Structures are given as C-alpha cells and as structure tokens.
Amino acid sequence: MRLLSLGQWKSIAKEAVDRTAIVAKFLCWLHVTDTYLCSPTLVYGPSMLPTLNLTGDVVLAEHMSQRLGKVQHGDVVLVRSPLDPKRTLTKRILGMEGDRITYVVDPKNSDRTQSVVVPKGHVWIQGDNIYLSSDSRLFGPVPYGLIQGKVFFRVWPPDSFGSLDHSL
C-alpha cells in the first residue's frame, strides 16, 4: 500500500471542496428558482373541474406576480389554505379588494345568494366546480399574503400541455 504525499492530499482536498461548492451553488440556484421565480406543482381534486383534472395535473406557477401586485380577476392561483396552513389550494380569483361579490351559499341544496364586499388586502377565490369546492364561500375573503403563485402553464398530462384557459 502506497502512502499519498502532502501535495496529493492537498489536490484531493481542493477537488472535494470545488465539487462541494458546485453542488452548493446548484442547490442555492434551485432554491431561489423554486421559491422566487417558478416551480412545478402537482394539483388534483374536483374543485377546479373542468379546468384541471380530477386525478392530477402538473402545472407551473410563477412567484413574481403576487409579489408585484399583478394578479387579477380570472387568474388561477396557488393559495395557502386559511383553514389548514399545511395545505395549498388551487383556485381562481373572482374578486379583488373593493369588488362586490354575490355568490350562491350552498349550490347543492338551494339557490340562496349572499353578497360581500372584498376588504382591502384580500381576494375572493373560488373553484371552477362550485359544487365540490372549499373556497371563499366557506372561509371568506383570503388575505393577499396567502397567495403563493400564479399558475400559467400545464405540463402534464401531455394531451393538455399548454397554457390554461383563463375564462370561466
């Protein structure tokens, strides 16, 4: 067995540090991209039918619009659930601050409506499938700060690849 010289040890250590630095830079870039620019997200469930599939879609969400105040009526957004902060909801913005929203309280059982004015710093969100969606009709207007991103592109499934239809 041959012993390594001090110069060889230094060379090995330098290469290890260089490779570790490359991995650390990549992980930092990945974190910044995922947190502040754009991230893929798996969304599923019945609340956004027919826009999104029940069994799941992979969508891209950008994280700049809500920071710059550029979300608007009709945008599909990722929102931290006001009822369970561990969950992220995918809903459509139907009202911005100052808007008067009239909604059907319980569409499965009656056609009774109620109106509310969206307060400053809040948005009104609803799923496209009003019969199977827990949204602002249940928990009220959502603080703007709970918006995590705006969905702008569907990646999966392949037959639905492309931008989302922003009409209701």
Supply the residues annotated as catalytic: 47, 91
For β-strands 142-143 and 57-62, DSSP reports them as unpaired
User: In the sheet where 76-80 sits, what is the strand order?
Assistant: 38-43, 57-62, 147-156, 76-80, 88-95, 122-126, 142-143
Contact 76, 155 (CB under 8 A): no
